Structure 1
Amino acid sequence: MQTAEIASRFLDFFEKRGHTIVPSASLVADDPALLFTVAGMVPFIPYLSGVVPPPYPRAADVQKCIRTNDIEEVGKTPRHGTFFQMLGNWSFGDYFKADAIRYAWELLTGPESDGGLGFDPKDLWVTVYKDDDEAYGLWRDIAGLPEDRIQRLDKDTNYWSTGLPGPAGPCSEIFYDQGPEYGVDGGPATDDDRYVEIWNLVFMQYEITNVTSKYDFDIVGELPNRNIDTGMGLERIAFIKQGVQNMYETDQVRPVLDVAATLSGKTYGADHEDDVRLRIIADHVRSSLMLLSDGVTPSNEGRGYILRRIMRRAIRSMRLLGVEGASFPELFAASRDAMKAAYPEVETEYARLSAYAVAEEQTFLRTLAAGSSILDQSVVQTKDAGGTALSGSEAFLLHDTYGFPIDLTLEIAEEAGLTVDRDAFDSLMLEQRTRAKADARARKGAIADQSVYREVRAQGETVFTGYTDLETESSVLGILVDGRSVDRAVQGQIAEVILAETSLYAESGGQVADKGVIVGPGFELEVLDVQRPVPGLISHTVEVSIGEVGVGQPAASVVDAVNRHSAQQAHSATHLVHAAIRDTLGRSATQTGSLNRAGYMRFDFNWSSALSPETRSEIEEIANNAVRDNLEVTTRVMSLDEAKAAGAMALFGEKYGTTVRMVDIGGPWSRELCGGTHVSRSSEIGLVNLVGESSVGASNRRVEALVGLDAFRDLAAERAIVSQLTSTLKTPRDQLATRIAELSANLKAAEKKIAAFEARAMADRAPALAQKAADAGGISLVAESIGAAGSGDDVRTLALQVRDRLGTAPGAVALGAVVNDRPVVIVATNEPGRAAGAKAGALAKLAAGVLGGGGGGRDDVAQGGGADASQLPAALTAIRSALESATR
């Protein structure tokens, strides 16, 4: 049974039983405390916790999930996957234990011919919480399970909570017995791999507090509604129904594994270590494809860092299999073909997704080459120093800074006859993981903060009036200070204020929050920020500037009209620039991010190379022609399907509900789904002035523009500069570029002549300096300070010229100079001098230490520097003393 068919059977089953089928939420979680959607319940947290009234009493879904906390186990066990799909059915105060158990049993054991999954009841075991007599009895009575296949377990396995105050409840897990050839008898209580957990039914019915650990807390009472939260691992069901050994061999993953095996010349099943690597590649390529399809792009922080990490783990595994060249074009194409039936977007967006993947692979392959060079130097230095092990700190630096995998470091060190101080490396890695876990705990703690909005959200959604009104009369529904609900906030306090209606725009869709005030009887609040902390609720962060504000008081939200209009100009200009870019570059150049604030817009889009000045000018001209044409800006609210049918662009990585707002500028020329505020006609934008274009990552470009009055001011400033230049250079404006080029060429020619004169003057000093050679322990040494010099290269050239005049006797030259106000020492030695023990690198390092800096280099020529030029004589004396003492 194919994976897509299993998902279809699950959804059909629950749809026939009155469940609303909910599309998968994005892998990018709405909750800012989470990097990713890590479990099927994440999109439903506001409903399960009671913060937001659920829009349906029962639901079912197939949710895309990403987990990386067990990434080191991927490939080693049958069930650990980075990307996985969770089948779930949900009840929000509707049905409870009896129906949840009945539905699960009917679907699992129902004949395949009737739409069921066809499991043999004799292969299924169940666990319940040890004190949950109700669930125990229901399994016995509904499923007819013998009591010896219903096992009671403790809180560590059969009681669900977040580990924080809030909802909790007992759970019941369903296991599939793979048979005696897979392990010992005795059921799930043995914790043996023979028994595969396939479905977890959570009976969410209690509220807990005084939480000291995930399993140590106090139950304070029943939740307002008893909820059902279930999760069945689609990949686990698939590998059982397809008769394969693990999730990596299922129909959605195995094709990637097979391509990796072909590219590497390996045979899957022939070698354990190779098999692990092949499974890592299959998992990580699929996970990367799905993250890219939800708008995540490789970077050095946050979600982008996780994506980069798993992509690089795949590249590393290919390298360990012997493939040193690029392999992502073949691997990602295989994953696309395996996943497109379930997620059509991976095919329709593949050109863009694969561009990111290929660029990331090319970048990392270059990184591996650079890391290998650094590691080779470390190996040589370690051997020269008589060491037998590379330091753990150096291995960690290669891993953390350059992305160089530790196993490659171990492999290269072993080939060179060295070991790696693995204990020190592991200690540094542990420190890093501890910091990461602390950060994760801090983010996790933010989930609980949503509960403070529960009572306010229960009063209904905040009505946003700002599309039509800049001032709205309302009332204060709630006030929060330091994350706690309070009755009032007084002058000088920072607080969150929630109104029943507001004209103030909450930050979203790239548009920053409105500025403005909230006023009422005896108080005035300066609005610092406006956000949507939970679906349907708008919260204003304010500073109480006058009086005090209390819950229940009347209040009016007043938008800063000038700031709003400037922000609208910028947001509408972003739509024009987007359309202009697509007109110029083609439909594959699509938005990946934006920022709109008063007078400024920033637009990121998928493109692999820098824009030429001509292309930038064309984009700017198209956008300003649209401004000139005074195009009408219209907005319509409709269903998502209607908007897509009308050709509206659903921007990559954005999340949309079933009802959307479509914004047209000039009809279909610019037609996007957008919740932001806009001008009514394009001429109100005034002017679009592109001021910058840059790279923001592999295959991602950014254009920046000033808009409206800010654009005019910038052009006026440039006009003033041009006017000053024409006056100073006495050159007409249309000839300025030519005149400045002439002056620049003349200046370069003059600088070249000056450099030649200085070099000649420096060379003329060589004979006199060579005459100053004096014996230093059998070495003919010139150790002189030559004063100021144009560059370190000039001093180096002079030192080599002096060295060449010392003849065949052992000789060394140490010249001190001041270059750009900093001291420099150049040391050069001839071959007889080096044979006698005069090593330029060691001497330069010695001098640099006296100067308060660092240095070194080759044995024949080296350089040192520092910060204290007054110590140059002492540095040269130190070199002389070192040579004299070496021969005593």
Structure 2
Amino acid sequence: MTSKEIRGRFLEYFAERDHRLLRSGSLVPAEHDPSVLLTTAGMQPLKPYFEGSEQPPHPRLASCQKVFRAVDIDQVGLTTRHLTFFEMLGNFSVGDYFKQGAVEYAWQLSLEGFGLDPEMIWITVFEGDDELGLGPDEEAIEAWLSVGIPRERIVGCPRSENFWQAGPIGPCGPCSELYLDRGLAFGAPDDLPGADNERFLEYWNLVFMQYRQDPANTLTPLPGKNIDTGLGLNRMAAIQQGVESVFETDQFVPLIELGEELSGHRSGESPAVDRALRILADHSRGMSFLVADGVVPSNEDRGYVLRRVMRRAIQQGRGLEMAPGFLARFGDRVVEVMGSAYPELHEQRAAIEQWLASEEEGFGRTLEQGTRLLSEVIAAARERGEDAIAAADAFQLHDTYGFPIDVTLELASAAGLGVDEAGFSALMDAQRQRARASGGIAGRSGGGDGERGQRWAQSTGFRTEFTGYSSIEQSTTVAALEREGGRLLAKLAESPFYPAGGGQVSDSGVVECESGDCRARVAEVLRLGDDQALVLELEAGELEPGERVLARVDAATRHATECNHTATHLLHAALRERLGDHVRQAGSAVQPGKLRFDFTHGAALTDAELRDVEDEVNSRVLANLPVRALTTTLDEARRLGAMALFGEKYGEVVRMVEIGDGSFSRELCGGTHVRRTAEISVFKIVSESSSAANVRRIEAVTGPVAVALLRRHDALLEDVAERLRTSPEGVVEALETRERQRRELERAASGADGAAAGAAGVDIEELFGRVQQIEGANVLVEQVVAGDEQSLLATLDRVKGRLDDAAVVLGSEVQGRVALVAAVAPALVERGVKAGDVVKAGAVAAGGGGGGRDTLARAGGRDVARLGDALAAARAAICTALES
């Protein structure tokens, strides 16, 4: 029986028994479930039905759901059954049948549908758990006895094996699993199901969804008793096709065969080869489906999961000496094998090829350098007689060379060495603290990272009450005061000042004595956990502890910041609506003068996309929608679909900001906002650029700042029109005329000037066709024909003028020497790519030198035979900078 037939038989069986068939949900969980990065169970898309928050389309449901579980990634390849990506067949009951019905369906389909031997089927049930306050699942035992399973083939198992939950919070319940006894050839007579052995193969799990789990082992009965079952399609395929491994089934054989073809190795040749081929087969499936569902490789969250499986597969392919480009070949084979069941693979075929190819190319360079350096570290450790790689060495590989710690762990283990993981984690924590910290008291803001400020605040024995949501002026008392240099560190009993956090800058303002002439300017508001302290600069008089003061926030600055913060929420929602749900916040900076928003997306936005996003935000501004901040429980916020930032820590009570009725924008947020969107006045995008690999950055302005910007643009347009002796409406036509005249003059000059002939002979359009996307940047490194350096620079100028966020290096043989020129966009300079460093690296390879500014540089070399090496070195310098 093929995998397709197994899928069809399962779904047909339950459709005939009044089950509504559902299509597979995405591997990216819906917004109602922010507790997990990826879909890890067949029931996950159905959680609102089980929780009672949504009405199911039918009380009986069945599906074949795509599932990805990163928890098993290290086991893939080592066993015959572990996978990261797989298909989970499931039947579900929402308040309809319960344990008896689920048991009868599973038993009947196992025997009549799949033809399994009833004497070889064993059952496990939940044995109870004192911590949960639950006893053995007697109801399940009775159900199995009623269908004919003898008591001796029903085995009790602990909570770790037979109590199921989709995540730390959500529906859960005891479960009962069906195992196939494969015989004594696979194990010992005293082996039992549920234990770690190869004799018993689990193929179906019946979850009796009775509870909702909240923190601290608190179980609450669900509104109705539900059934959630999961049958692994790939394991059933192994059973039906009479093979010992899922990697020998019909979905995997074409991928294993491709691996053999590309590597020249054969399955069964050695354990190492088998492991590599299995990893490539499994991971190529996982990465292809993740990309098809909108996940892109990055260094955080689900993007990191994708990047990790990509890089593990790349490492295995390189270890088998596969030629470059192999990863995209695997992706293409996945589409061929699985595309008929999952049409999104065909729809996203180009994207799958693009991401797999670009990641292989980029990581290949990182892996070559890192593996070489790690080999030296391993050799040195062995010479010293050490059994582990030092934390400092592992950290340097990660921090300086971009070599992933999980790859270091894997290669070190293969060499028989460990890694000081605790020390590595400590170094990573120290690096994060250094990145956040700066000198003086004023630099110790953000999340309680100012240790001295935190200790001082704790020593005062109380917390400041923040009143700034409801008022920007507060009569209060100076509760504590400490002088440091020319500044004061103060704590007020109540404070209207917002401390920096959540991307929003801290408030500014003044603290004045209610009697007397003392006055202090608020330089910064330090966030110290859920407490705060003020950094003050005394402007008049003296401030003393116990003094009654009036704390007043700068109203204009606060309101401008609020406009930008609410606009940031609208921008986030508009980007997700226009580009897709893969868009997620990757960072933000909300200031009174502008906003900056970083988000995950794999390509620069087109002019049309930017216009659409800007128009959408402005339409919501003009609609004058109410902006409400609600205090609610984390559970309720999630039920309502509020966006939560992964990596943020939330308590049981959260603050949720919704715009309008919340259907367009609803986020967990502790910042301050306008009351109605019309206060924003106008929203204008200033720039869109690359921030990091697969992360884009938008900067925008609102209100008076946006109006002033538009007026400057109008004035500039009128000035240009006057210089061109035309109207503002005629500027484009006038410029096109001048450009046409310029090209005619160039062509005329090229006929008389040999130097210009070199530049004119370059096919610019052909060069554009060679531009590569590397880590989210446009990179062009090419050899061209040029008569002299001036014509080479002219070609460089023509190329860079038409590329956004680009690093361009052109090389040519000029008068018997190597000539190199480079131009780097400011956005890439910020990421560490500097034109001077790039051409210097190339020139050294050709026996020369040179340099220049970060954005424009030139260099030369003596050895023209090494022009190709020079360009390769320049390209490597760009890639190294982008990847680090």
Q: TM-score, normalised by structure 2?
A: 0.51
User: Per the alignment, do residues 706 and 245 of structure 1 end up closer, same or farther by CA in structure 2, a change over 3 Å counting?
Assistant: farther
Alignment match, 2:23? 23
Match of 2:175 in 1: 171
1:697 maps to a residue whose letter is A
* Counterpart residue identity of residue 197, structure 1: E
Equivalent residues in 2 for 1:101-250, closer than 5 Å: 101-110=103-112, 116-130=113-127, 131-142=136-147, 144-160=148-164, 169-185=173-189, 188-189=192-193, 191=195, 192-205=197-210, 223-250=222-249
AA matched with 1:691: S
Q: Tell me if structure 2 keeps the 8 A contact 1:570–1:601.
A: no
Matched, 1:314 2:319: no
Task: Confirm or deny: 8 A CA contact 1:95 1:228 kept in the other structure.
Answer: yes
| Partners of 1:39 and 1:86 within 8 A in 2 | yes
Q: What is the CA distance between 1:33 and its match in structure 2?
A: 2.2
Structure 2 equivalent of residue 341 of structure 1 = 340
Residue 22 of structure 1, CA deviation: 2.5
Aligned residue number for residue 709 of structure 2 = 714
1:289 CA displacement: 0.9
Question: What residue is the counterpart of 1:693 in the other structure?
Answer: 689
Shift of 1:356: 1.3
1:83/1:9 Cα in 2 relative to 1: closer, same or farther (>3 Å)? same
Q: C-alpha separation between the residues in 2 aligned to 1:529 and 1:15?
A: 52
Whole-angstrom CA distance in 1 between matches of 2:468 and 2:94: 32
| Structure 2 SS opposite 1:89 | strand
CA contact under 8 A between 1:78 and 1:248: conserved in structure 2?
yes
Is the 8 Å Cα contact of residues 69 and 84 (structure 2) preserved in structure 1? yes
Q: Can you list the C-alpha shifts for 1:111-131, whole angstroms capped at 9, x where unaligned? A: xxxxx2232323322223454
Using the TM superposition, give the Cα deviation of residue 267 of structure 1 relative to its aligned residue in structure 2, in angstroms.
Answer: 0.5
Give the aligned partner of residue 92 of structure 1.
94
> 1:423 and 1:622 mapped to 2: Cα distance?
52
CA offset at residue 89 of structure 1? Answer: 1.4
Partner Cα separation in structure 1 for residue 166 and residue 468 of structure 2: 28
| In structure 2, C-alpha distance between the alignment counterparts of 1:411 and 1:76, rounded to whole Å | 13
Look up the match of 1:350. Answer: 349
Pairwise CA distance, 1:601: 9.3
- Is the alpha carbon distance of 1:124 and 1:593 closer, same or farther for their aligned partners in structure 2, counting shifts above 3 Å? same
Describe the shift of the 1:431–1:163 C-alpha distance in structure 2 as closer, same or farther (beyond 3 A).
Answer: farther
Task: Name the SS of the counterpart of 1:593 in structure 2.
Answer: coil
Within 2, Cα distance between the matches of 1:33 and 1:387? 45
Greater Rg, structure 1 or structure 2?
A: 1
**CA–CA distance in structure 1, aligned partners of residues 576 and 167 of structure 2:** 47
Identical pairs, percent: 36
CA distance 1:429–1:36, shift in 2 (3 Å): farther
CA distance in 1, matches of 2:468, 2:699: 34
Q: Is the 8 A contact 2:391 2:424 kept in 1?
A: no
Relative distance call for 1:74 and 1:399 in structure 2 (3 A) is: farther
Closer/same/farther in 2, CA of residues 56 and 279 from structure 1, 3 Å limit:
same
Query: What amino acid sits opposite 2:14 in the alignment?
Result: F
Distance 2:573 2:49 in 1: 35
Q: Which amino acid aligns with 2:119?
A: K
Q: Distance in 2 between matches of 1:409 and 1:207?
A: 39
Determine the C-alpha separation between the residues in 2 that align with 1:182 and 1:625.
65
**Structure 2, gaps ≥5 residues long:** 128-135, 431-463, 470-497, 503-558, 624-642, 644-662, 667-679, 721-727, 732-789, 791-836, 838-884
2:583 maps to amino acid: G
Q: Which amino acid aligns with 1:694?
A: S
Which aligned pairs between 1:339-738 and structure 2 lie closer than 5 A? 339-372=338-371, 374-375=373-374, 391-397=389-395, 400-401=398-399, 402=401, 404=403, 422-425=417-420, 428=423, 593=583, 675=664, 690-694=686-690, 696-697=692-693, 711-717=706-712
Q: Does the CA-based 8 Å contact 2:256-2:277 persist in structure 1?
A: yes
- Check conservation: 1:623, 1:688, Cα contact below 8 A: no
User: Match of 1:158, as an amino acid?
Assistant: N
Cα deviation code 1:12-42 (max 9, x no counterpart): 2222222222332222224222122222233
1:255 counterpart SS class:
helix
Shift, 1:108, TM fit: 1.6
Report if the CA contact (8 A) 2:22-2:62 is conserved: yes
Q: Aligned in 2, Cα 1:228/1:348: closer, same or farther, shift over 3 Å?
A: same
Closer, same or farther: CA 362–625 of 1 in aligned 2, 3 Å? same
Given residue 714 of structure 1, which amino acid in structure 2 is its aligned partner? Answer: L
Aligned-pair CA distance for 1:333: 0.8
Q: Is the 8 A contact 1:591 1:605 kept in 2?
A: no
Instruction: Show CA shifts across 1:721-770 (max 9, x none).
Output: 99999xxxxxxx99xxxxxxxxxx9xxxxxxxxxxxxxxxxxxxxxxxxx
Deviation by residue 1:353-374 (Cα, 9 ceiling, x = unmatched)? 2211111111101112332454
**One-letter code of the match for 1:284?**
H
Cα distance change, pair 9–704 in 1 and its aligned pair in 2 (3 A): farther
- After superposition, what is the alpha-carbon deviation per residue over 1:187-220, rounded to whole angstroms, capped at 9, x for unaligned? 63483312111111122336789957xxxx8xx8
Instruction: Give TM-score, length-normalised by structure 1.
Output: 0.51
Aligned CA-pair RMSD: 5.8
Tell me by how many angstroms 1:343 deviates: 1.1
Residue 332 of structure 1 corresponds to 331
1:670 maps to none
Aligned to 2:724: none
Q: Does 1:5 align with 2:5?
A: yes
Residue 407 of structure 1, CA deviation: 10
The 3 A distance-change label for structure 1 pair 705 and 619 is: farther
Counterpart CA distance in 1 for 2:59 and 2:204 is: 21
Cα offsets for 1:383-427 (capped at 9, x unmatched): 9x988888433552366444547898799999xxxx979344465
The answer to whether the 8 Å contact 2:683/2:700 transfers is no
Distance 2:270 2:600 in 1: 44
> How far 1:270 moved relative to its partner?
1.6
Paired residues of 1:268 and 1:275 also in contact (CA < 8 A): yes
Letter in structure 2 aligned against 1:128: V
1:664 equivalent in structure 2: none
Is residue 2:252 matched to residue 1:253?
Answer: yes
Contact 2:171 2:213 in 1 (8 A): yes
Closer, same or farther in 2 for the Cα pair 1:432/1:189, shift >3 Å?
farther
Q: Does structure 2 conserve the Cα–Cα contact (< 8 Å) formed by 1:75 and 1:279?
A: yes
Separation (CA, whole Å) in 2 of partners of 1:719 and 1:293: 43
Residue aligned with 1:303, SS? helix
Gaps of 5+ in 1: 111-115, 436-490, 497-525, 531-559, 580-588, 634-652, 654-673, 678-683, 726-732, 735-744, 746-792, 794-888
Aligned residue number for residue 78 of structure 2:
76
2:554: which partner in 1? none
On the 8 A contact 1:85/1:233 being kept in 2, the answer is: yes
Q: How much does 1:77 deviate?
A: 1.0
The one-letter code of the counterpart of 2:688 is: G
Specify the code of the residue in structure 1 equivalent to 2:5.
Answer: E
Q: Structure 1 residues 396, 626: CA separation in 2 closer, same or farther (over 3 Å shift)?
A: closer
Q: C-alpha separation between the residues in 2 aligned to 1:620 and 1:408? A: 39
**Do the aligned partners of residues 320 and 166 (structure 1) sit closer, same or farther apart at CA in structure 2, a change above 3 Å counting?**
closer
**Partner Cα separation in structure 2 for residue 46 and residue 529 of structure 1:** 32
CA contact (8 A) 1:352 1:606 kept: no
- Any conservation in 1 of the 2:567–2:617 contact (CA below 8 Å)? no
Cα distance in 2 for residues equivalent to 1:394 and 1:253 = 40
With over 3 angstroms needed to count, the CA separation of the structure-2 counterparts of 1:316 and 1:136, relative to structure 1, is same
CA distance, structure 1, for counterparts of residue 38 and residue 409 of structure 2 = 32
**Separation (CA, whole Å) in 2 of partners of 1:189 and 1:578:** 48
User: How far apart, CA to CA, are the structure 2 residues paired with 1:92 and 1:6?
Assistant: 24
Q: Secondary structure at the match of 2:341?
A: coil
